[in-house]
Structure 1
Amino acid sequence: MIFGKHATLAVLRAQNAPQKVNKIFLQHGLHNDAMTEVVQIARQQHLVIQDAPKTKLDDLADNGNHQGIVLTVTPFAYTELSDLLQLLQNKQELPFFVILDNLNDPHNFGSILRTADAVGVNGIIIPKRRSVGVTSVVAKTSTGAIEHLPIVRVTNLVQTIKELKERGIWIFGTDMQGTDYQKWNAKGAVALVIGNEGKGLSPLVKKQVDQMLTIPMVGHVQSLNASVAAGVLLYQALRSRSTN
């Protein structure tokens, strides 16, 4: 399920929308600019539209904030790491990845996707187990970023990081003890690892990190929400990668 106006419009504007969207449910009696645009695009692409009561949409969206629009779509298509690396090589782009180490909160995942897209990250890597995958909540929170960012799901995160290092990609992690993030030189081929909301980086992943980054804190709380920390670090990366 995809729900909410921003996530819906991002899906409908994608080139593969006719192959991806099964049906569009619109809340009966609700009219606004977003719904008008959804109807226009759907008719152009000959997609199935169905009026439905709010209770039906509430059920489909698991009581999420659907804003009167719910899509049923084909399962999310994850990208193979080898395909993503080959694509970047063909485009002569240096990898700029975010690796999520057992992130569990779909809202954090969606927020990180949104920020990653904004700063030019060209791939997200997540583990298959003990980690949130792409869900309806992730799609809505990302406000459509999942339509533009390749997401790779791997069996063994440690082995994947080793493979990335063998390909010349520098791995950066976050920790209470490390280099001030403002000194981070993020030029070149890099990957930033964001850890679990409560436990941070897992010990085996931490061993593979080339450099630890820390965000100085002067208040009483000595940790940041995962998506907030990712946002701070990713914009430092953008600043670093944008300067000569």
Structure 2
Amino acid sequence: MAKPYQRPDVIKTSKKGAAKGSGGQRRRGLEGKKATPKAEDRVYHSAHKKKLERQRRDSGRHEKDKADLVVGRNPVVECLHAKVPAEALYVAQGTAHDDRLSEAVALANAKGLPVQEIPRRDLDNMTGNGMHQGIGLKIQPYKYADVFDLMAGVRDRAQTGMFVVLDNITDPRNLGAVIRSTAAFGGHGVIIPERRSAQVTGVAWRTSAGTAARLPVAKAVNITRTIKEFKDNGYMVVGLDAGGEHTLDTFEGATDPVVIVVGSEGKGISRLVRENCDVIMSIPTEGWVESLNASVAAGVVLSEFARQRRVAALKD
């Protein structure tokens, strides 16, 4: 007897095949589910963005509190001579000795600093590279002053204040040089922005030749607002920029309380800061010289202002 026709795309299952059931779907449905992730752990939730921002701020505070490390034999010796506040001297194991390394160790011992010999790998990790010449000096975090305390201190001492405000200065060597010039010519402090600015690190300490230990440096959250506070307290704000209505040869207001604003060699003074200056002053130079380095310009102006103050004092 012929078999009945069966479509090739239909598979006939035997009654003795797999038992009927849900395929485990009901059992899985009865299983307990995992805990719902916290809102801050869900990448699409606004709380997650707030968590990341909080972590970034906390990381920034940690970086501010972290001690600086000056590396290289000459820089370390220079910092020790400049009496930079340090915590320890690190020397990598197996480092070849020379006169500079011996001098650094002798200076550290004379100052009572602990000298620690550590594996070279550890010093590599601390510096982020191997360009340390086998030596590193741990610098204490700089303690910044408060702008209002500086103004109050000058007023209480009945002095004629002279401050330097730095705008867009990102090179710590320029910062250190400005600190040194401000101290040398009778200034009362340097103010830097809290963000996007060079900080008082080991490089700035070294360039300042130790004057950062005696001349206060303050941080300002908003430079424009700080300048307005100086003006409200009777200070004249002088911005250094090319093409100013005054030159150093014609300006004679240095005997009054004054704030000197110095911008970077490339960007100069930012627009809002410039608009809040009482005077924009340029420094006369040879025509073929395009501009002066920021720290050099600050030193030239500070020297002239100090001269005007000495002349006025002799007349009195």
Task: Give me the TM-score of the superposition, normalised by structure 1.
Answer: 0.82
Amino acid at match of 2:115: I
1:204-244 per-residue CA deviation (whole Å, 9 max, x = no partner) reads 11111111211123332321111121121111111111112
* Corresponding residue for residue 99 of structure 1: 165
Query: Please, what is the CA RMSD of the aligned residues?
Result: 2.9
TM-aligned CA deviation for residue 28 of structure 1: 6.1
Structure 1 unaligned segments of length 5 or more: list them: none
Contact 1:60 1:70 in 2 (8 A): no
Once residues 231 and 213 of structure 1 are traced to their aligned partners in structure 2, the CA distance between those partners, rounded to angstroms, is 14
Tell me the secondary structure at the aligned position of residue 7 of structure 1.
Answer: helix
Go from structure 1 to structure 2 and tell me whether the alpha carbon gap of 1:191 and 1:53 turns closer, same or farther (over 3 Å shift).
farther
Distance in 1, Cα, partners of 2:238 & 2:291: 18
Match of 2:87 in 1: 22
Q: In structure 2, how many angstroms separate the alpha carbons of the residues matched to 1:66 and 1:113?
A: 26
Q: Cα gap change, 1:142/1:83 in structure 2, threshold over 3 Å: closer, same or farther?
A: same
The equivalent of 2:55 in structure 1 is none
**Match runs of 1:216-227 below 5 Å:** 216-227=284-295
**Which protein shows a greater Rg?**
2
150, 155, 164: which is aligned to 1:84?
150
Aligned length, in residue pairs: 234
Residues 1:181 and 2:248 aligned together: yes
Determine if the alignment matches structure 1 residue 38 to structure 2 residue 107.
yes
Q: Structure 2: which amino acid aligns with 1:23? A: A
Partner Cα separation in structure 2 for residue 160 and residue 143 of structure 1: 28
Asked if the contact 1:111–1:141 (Cα under 8 Å) also holds between the matched residues in 2, the reply is: yes
Indicate how the Cα distance of structure 1 residues 239 and 65 shifts in structure 2: closer, same or farther if over 3 A, else same: farther
1:31 deviates by 3.6
Task: Please list the CA deviations of residues 44-79 of structure 1 after superposition, one character each: whole Å capped at 9, or x if unmatched.
Answer: xxx312356999878867789989864313311111
Report the Cα distance in structure 1 between the residues aligned to 2:295 and 2:131, rounded to whole angstroms.
20
Tell me, yes or no, if the aligned pair for 2:240 and 2:280 is still in contact at 8 Å.
Answer: yes
CA distance in 1, matches of 2:194, 2:229: 17
Q: Give the aligned residue type for 1:95.
A: G
Contact 1:6 1:144 in 2 (8 A): no
Greater RCO, CA 8 A, separation 6+? 1
Q: Distance in 2 between matches of 1:73 and 1:175?
A: 35
Q: Look up the SS of the partner of 1:75 in the other structure.
A: coil
Cα separation, partners in 2 of 1:25 and 1:99, compared to 1, 3 Å? same
Task: Tell me how far apart the structure 1 counterparts of residues 132 and 185 of structure 2 sit (CA, whole Å).
Answer: 27
Distance 1:63 1:86, change over 3 A: farther
Name the counterpart of 1:214.
282
Distance in 2 between the 1:37 and 1:116 partners? Answer: 32
Q: 1:123 aligns with which of 179, 182, 189?
A: 189
Unaligned residue ranges in structure 2 (runs of 5+) = 1-68
Query: TM-score, normalised to structure 2's length?
Result: 0.65
- Tell me which amino acid in the other structure corresponds to 2:260: L
Structure 1 residue 88 displacement after superposition: 2.1
The 5-angstrom pairing of residues 1-244 of structure 1 reads 1-2=69-70, 3-11=75-83, 17=85, 21-25=86-90, 29-31=97-99, 35=104, 38-39=107-108, 41-43=110-112, 47-51=113-117, 70-178=136-244, 179-185=246-252, 186-244=254-312
What is the identity percentage for the equivalent residue pairs of Structure 1 and Structure 2? 35
Q: 1:91 to 1:206 in 2, by over 3 A?
A: same
Q: Distance in 2 between matches of 1:116 and 1:63?
A: 34
Judge conservation of contact 2:79–2:202 (CA < 8 Å) in 1.
Answer: no
Q: Give the residue type in structure 2 aligned to 1:177.
A: G
